[in-house]
Amino acid sequence: MPHIALPPTGTAAAWREAARACLSARLPPEAVTWSRGAEAGVLFDEGEAPPPVKAGPIRVPAAFVEMAAQVCWHRDPQRFARLYAFLWRLRLKPALMEDAADPALVALRGMEKAVRRDIHKTHAFVRFREVGERDAPRRRFAAWFEPQHLTLEPSAPFFARRFGDMDWLIATPDLTARFEGGVLRLEEGAPRPELTADDAEELWRTYFRNIFNPARANPARMLAEMPRRYWANLPEAQTIPDLLREAEGRVRAMAEAAPKEAPFYARALAARREEAAAPAPAPAGGLAGLVREIEGCRRCPLWEGATRAVAGEGPVDAALALVGEQPGDGEDLGGRPFVGPAGQLLDGVLREAGIARERTYLTNAVKHFKYTLKGRRRIHQSPSGGEIAACRPWLLAELAELRPKLVVALGATAAAALTGRGEGILKRRGRIEEGPDGLPVLLTVHPSFLLRLPDPVLRETETERFREDLVAARTWLEAQQAA
Amino acid sequence: MSMSLQDKLAILSDAARYDASCASSGGQRRDSRDGKGLGSTTGAGICHAFTPDGRCVSLLKILMTNFCIYDCAYCVNRVSSNTPRARFSVEEVVTLTIEFYRRNYIEGLFLSSGIIRSPDDTMRDMVRIVRTLREEHDFRGYVHLKTIPGASAELIEEAGRHADRLSVNIELPTEAGLARLAPEKDAGAIRRHMGDIRLRREEAGDRSHRGTPAPRFAPAGQSTQVIVGADGADDATILRQSQRLYGAYGLKRVYYSAFSPIPEPSALLPVKAPPLVREHRLYQADWLMRFYGFEAGEIAEGGDLDLSMDPKLAWALRHRERFPVDVATAPREMLLRVPGFGTRTVERILSARRHRRLRHADLLRMGASLRKAAPFIEAADWHPGALLDSGHLAARLTPAPRQLALF
């Protein structure tokens, strides 16, 4: 019966080669035995060396190749045979790999998981000590580690990527990894080297002791993640028994400590702060004062879900004011009106209509963003009549400060806030109606209406009509100024 | 008399232990295989040690200084506390980070700080530390930087360029709580700050019209922490806040930190045992929102989570009309709602059921916790029968009440 002795390094790649050879020779699992290295007690039949690779590709699911590459590092002596037996079945039924309930697959997956965990723990728990001069061009470090499985080889590249600018050595009972001048080598295992603690170790223990919160002591959780068998090589682990012993007393001391008087500098700082705090700023009045008041608005519950209130923006002497619906996601984050997708569309149409945005006052009928959450996205929701009414005083106050010549209401919400009626915008658009205090209000659609139109042709026509409404606003204003 | 590095480290790590986050995951992958710099990030994060409180040590989590001009009642470093104070120099933080990193103790640095003089002064000094690490020492490990609301845009910009993750703590679940316990903090400013970070991250993700990528900005995203049990907010309020934070600012994580006794307690907040079970239930609920398709409102229908069982089981017991679920045909969304099925188990079921009629034993092998799941599912050889509607179901599925350790 052929026996295949795989090398102690490069084991996973060698298994793959050998398994491919056995499979192309149609060697059933019971006709071959496997081992790592030429282990004592295993008979090696020279007459039946592993069969040569035959031509012709063998296809197996990539998921198997990935799994096998891990399982090979497991200490179970049967791992190679189990892998080959599964591969033997897999060649006729590739879908077996997806059958998460197959007992052989479940066992292999279990081994794979154990290996991955052991690699992860190796990455986590290796502790280097400095063995060279601190001011050498390449500093030198060394570590002794005892992994549960044969995982130094698959673990080593991580250290090469991480510690590229230093030389290091990781010795384990099975294998030694040596990284010198940027070259990684694997050698036979060696007895534990003598490594003396360097001075960083005491600092590390200090950190470990102090980052522990005695009021949350939970040794079971610690042990689940950092089992005792790793402790011998972890310098911080020796502090654990003391930390646990002292925890209860430390917590009791905190509970019994009576609140103390504040230190002198706290009183000095408080006094200085009181002194520095200018008398409450007189209501600034004007538009600036209004903006500050809007920021603190609590007239309806919308503020709770929003980042901030978004007040209007534009020159105090603007002749034209544009009123939209409410801030959207982008406006809520950025704090300015009309900066999201609808705002960008509006910018373009304003330019084409010959209206300068920086000479125009832009605001919204409702100042906080109303939305529902869809998973992780905030989806715009139209404000209710109550919310529009709650916010209306702010809009009226803005307009009272500005006294614009003309207001353009963009969409139904703005129309409702300005004319008391939000219905029938498509019929009323382009008309000038009477707004608060007799202000003339030109009605049109909201730019987001255009964004929602799925048909590009329709969107083009509607954008054209929107532009005409804005041109009408400009012409009306020019006529007023000429008169 | 100047303090030794040991003494400073003791004070400034002790002061940092109340920040729950120690994650080093996410973000771009880097390494130093070219032999020039030091360090790598793998995207997955590594816990290098576990303290006896069961928490992971991934990063060197320290304060730059624990001097602070704010007076937050829950915080050991508040100005009115008599805790010993210290301050690291730039060189000290850099040396600790690099020497710890070279010995494979840590994945990188999590730097926070008390507020000294002003938000800008504090942020400027913190940014200097990270800049030194990155630019002078070519440090390629992970950096998590706490940012200070109110710091200037240039400083935040530079912080995001050097750090993998930025965070700002929301601290408490309600504005009223914040006003009472942290009078100098401004909930609105914290939200605006998070919004600003989200916008900057999105800009960094956009390519310019010439196709050149914008400079990277906090590639591992932003996170926050909320203290549980310091004010009277219920779990529904806390979870609604988290859901809003995830939605509005694209946070990677919301951390829940059970309010824990501190040395030098404030008269406003008497010392009590930290509500660790409640914290655990909140993390489970948070997980349900992020990976299982649950909404905050349905998880904590009654205001507070049930401490005696996990929130998914509690939901299933309240909604037995939605069960049993047939593992052979149910859609993914419904499988995810079965108590005892994790996301992995659900993926395995979806894949395996194309090949066989799943039986009780198959599910067990695939990692399902059938003790919990059995009353809620149907399989080829299993039907819960009257079990699902049994009045004793809740009692069967929750461990017998246990005497809680006295504080």
Nearest chain A residue to B50 by CA distance is A222
Asked if the Cβ–Cβ distance from A213 to B271 is below 8 Å, we say no
Q: What is the pLDDT of residues B249-300, one digit of tens each?
A: 999 999 999 998 888 888 888 788 899 999 999 999 999 999 999 999 999 9
Residue type at B94 in one-letter notation: V
Measured distance between the N- and C-terminal CA atoms of chain B, rounded to whole angstroms: 39
Distance between CA atoms of B187 and B224, rounded to whole angstroms? 13
Interface mutation vs chain A, best among B53, B197, B257, B278, most A CBs within 10 Å = B53
Q: Which band of pLDDT confidence, cut at 50, 70 and 90, is reported for residue B1?
A: low
**CATH class for the region spanning A286-482:** alpha beta
Q: Which of B397, B244, B261, B251 is nearest to B320 (CA)?
A: B397
Provide, as residue numbers in chain B, all residues whose Cβ is less than 8 Å from the Cβ of A307.
188, 191-192, 194-195, 248
Token digits of residue A165: 């600018």
Nearest chain A residue to B63 by CA distance is A211
pLDDT along chain A (483 residues), means of 10: 90 94 92 80 49 66 95 97 96 88 94 97 97 92 96 97 96 96 91 89 97 94 94 95 94 83 83 69 74 90 93 93 96 94 95 95 96 90 95 94 95 95 92 92 95 93 95 94 80
Asked if the Cβ–Cβ distance from A222 to B51 is below 8 Å, we say yes
Distance between CA atoms of A81 and A69, rounded to whole angstroms? 14
Provide, as residue numbers in chain A, all residues whose Cβ is less than 8 Å from the Cβ of B54.
216, 218-222, 224-225
Quote the minimal CA–CA distance from A204 to chain B in Å. 7
Nearest to A124 among B47, B188, B354 (CB): B47
Q: Which of B73, B164, B79, B90 is nearest to B124 (CA)?
A: B90
Torsion of CA A347, A350, A356, A360, to 10 degrees: -80
Measured distance between the N- and C-terminal CA atoms of chain A, rounded to whole angstroms: 110
Q: What is the helix (H) or strand (E) element at residue B280, kind and residue range?
A: helix B276-291
Q: What is the pLDDT of residue A266?
A: 85
Q: What is the helix (H) or strand (E) element at residue B223, kind and residue range?
A: strand B222-228
Paired residues of B139 in beta bridges: B38
Residue recorded with tokens 């979870």: B239
Q: How far is CA B378 from the centre of its chain?
A: 36
DSSP state of A423: S
Provide, as residue numbers in chain B, all residues whose Cβ is less than 8 Å from the Cβ of A220.
54
| A335 and B193 Cβ atoms separated by less than 8 Å | no
Distances (CA, A) of A263 to A257, A441, B77, B102: 16, 62, 12, 40
| A320 and A405 Cβ atoms separated by less than 8 Å | yes
Interface mutation vs chain B, best among A116, A126, A133, A216, most B CBs within 10 Å = A216
Nearest to A101 among B38, B261, B366 (CB): B366
Token digits of residue B124: 């400027």
**Cis peptide, bond prior to residue B119, ω within 30 of zero:** no
- Picking from A59-73, A350-364, B40-54, B196-210, which range would have the lowest pLDDT averaged per residue? B196-210
pTM of the model: 0.91
Q: What is the residue extent of each domain of chain A?
A: 3-121, 133-188, 206-250, 286-482
A225 and chain B in contact, CB less than 8 A = yes
Distance between CA atoms of B19 and B114, rounded to whole angstroms? 13
Instruction: List all residues 6 or more positions away from B154 whose beta carbon is below 8 Å from its beta carbon.
Output: none
Nearest chain B residue to A256 by CA distance is B271
Query: How many interchain CB pairs under 8 A, A with B?
Result: 249
Token digits of residue B49: 């040690």
Provide, as residue numbers in chain B, all residues whose Cβ is less than 8 Å from the Cβ of A257.
263-265, 271
Asked if the Cβ–Cβ distance from B264 to A234 is below 8 Å, we say no
Quote the minimal CA–CA distance from B5 to chain A in Å. 8
DSSP state of B386: G
A16 and chain B in contact, CB less than 8 A = no
Distance between CA atoms of B178 and B269, rounded to whole angstroms? 13
| B286 and B363 Cβ atoms separated by less than 8 Å | no
Asked if the Cβ–Cβ distance from A263 to B6 is below 8 Å, we say no
Q: Which residue spans within B156-215 are E strands per DSSP? A: 165-167
Asked if the Cβ–Cβ distance from A376 to B192 is below 8 Å, we say no
Nearest chain B residue to A182 by CA distance is B35
Asked if the Cβ–Cβ distance from A207 to B13 is below 8 Å, we say yes
A240 and chain B in contact, CB less than 8 A = yes
Work out whether the CA dihedral B74, B76, B78, B83 comes out positive or negative: positive
Burial of A408 from C-beta contacts in 10 A (0-12 / 13-18 / 19+): buried
Q: What is the helix (H) or strand (E) element at residue A451, kind and residue range?
A: helix A447-452
- Strand, helix or coil for residue A150: coil
| A56 and A31 Cβ atoms separated by less than 8 Å | no
Residue recorded with tokens 């002591």: A217
Q: What angle do CA A342, A347, A349 make, to 5 degrees?
A: 95
Nearest chain A residue to B264 by CA distance is A259
Quote the minimal CA–CA distance from A267 to chain B in Å. 8
| B262 and B76 Cβ atoms separated by less than 8 Å | yes
| Average pLDDT of chain B to the nearest whole number | 91
Residue type at A174 in one-letter notation: D
Q: Directed axis angle between helix A341-352 and helix A456-482, to 10°?
A: 50
What domains can be seen in chain B, in order of their start residue? 5-299 (3.20.20.70), 311-397 (no CATH)
Could you give the ipTM of this predicted complex?
A: 0.93
Interface mutation vs chain B, best among A204, A218, A308, most B CBs within 10 Å = A204
Provide, as residue numbers in chain B, all residues whose Cβ is less than 8 Å from the Cβ of A125.
48-49
Residue recorded with tokens 């007799």: A438
Strands A175-180 and A167-171: antiparallel
Asked if the Cβ–Cβ distance from A217 to B52 is below 8 Å, we say yes
DSSP letters along A288-350, please? HHHHHHHHT--SSGGGGGSS-----BS-TT-SEEEEES---HHHHHH-SSS-SHHHHHHHHHH
Nearest to A222 among B10, B11, B50 (CB): B50
Distance between CA atoms of B393 and A81, rounded to whole angstroms? 45
Q: What is the pLDDT of residue B151?
A: 93
Interface mutation vs chain A, best among B51, B99, B349, B365, most A CBs within 10 Å = B51
**Which residue blocks in A212-239 are alpha helix, DSSP H?**
219-225
| A171 and A192 Cβ atoms separated by less than 8 Å | yes
Instruction: List all residues 6 or more positions away from A341 whose beta carbon is below 8 Å from its beta carbon.
Output: A328, A330, A448, A451
Q: Which of A106, A70, A111, A104 is nearest to A87 (CA)?
A: A104
| A328 and A307 Cβ atoms separated by less than 8 Å | no
| A221 and A188 Cβ atoms separated by less than 8 Å | no
Instruction: List all residues 6 or more positions away from A76 whose beta carbon is below 8 Å from its beta carbon.
Output: A82, A111
Please count the CA atoms within 13 angstroms of the CA of B54 that sit on its side-chain side.
Answer: 11
Burial of A319 from C-beta contacts in 10 A (0-12 / 13-18 / 19+): middle
**Number of separate helices (H) and strands (E) present in chain B:** 15, 10
- Strand, helix or coil for residue B253: strand
| A351 and A360 Cβ atoms separated by less than 8 Å | no
Q: Which of B195, B252, B202, B251 is nearest to B45 (CA)?
A: B252
Residue recorded with tokens 């700082």: A269
- The residue-averaged pLDDT of B118-125 equals 95
Asked if the Cβ–Cβ distance from A251 to B407 is below 8 Å, we say yes
**Which residue blocks in B132-181 are alpha helix, DSSP H?**
153-162, 175-181
pLDDT value at B161 more than 80: yes
Provide, as residue numbers in chain B, all residues whose Cβ is less than 8 Å from the Cβ of A160.
33
Quote the minimal CA–CA distance from A156 to chain B in Å. 12
Asked if the Cβ–Cβ distance from B80 to A373 is below 8 Å, we say no
Q: Which band of pLDDT confidence, cut at 50, 70 and 90, is reported for residue B406?
A: very low
Secondary-structure breakdown of chain B: helix, strand, coil percentages, each rounded to the nearest 5:
40, 10, 50
Q: What is the pLDDT of residue B267?
A: 85
Token digits of residue B177: 């709580």
Distances (CA, A) of B95 to B24, B61, B101, B248, B267: 20, 14, 10, 38, 38
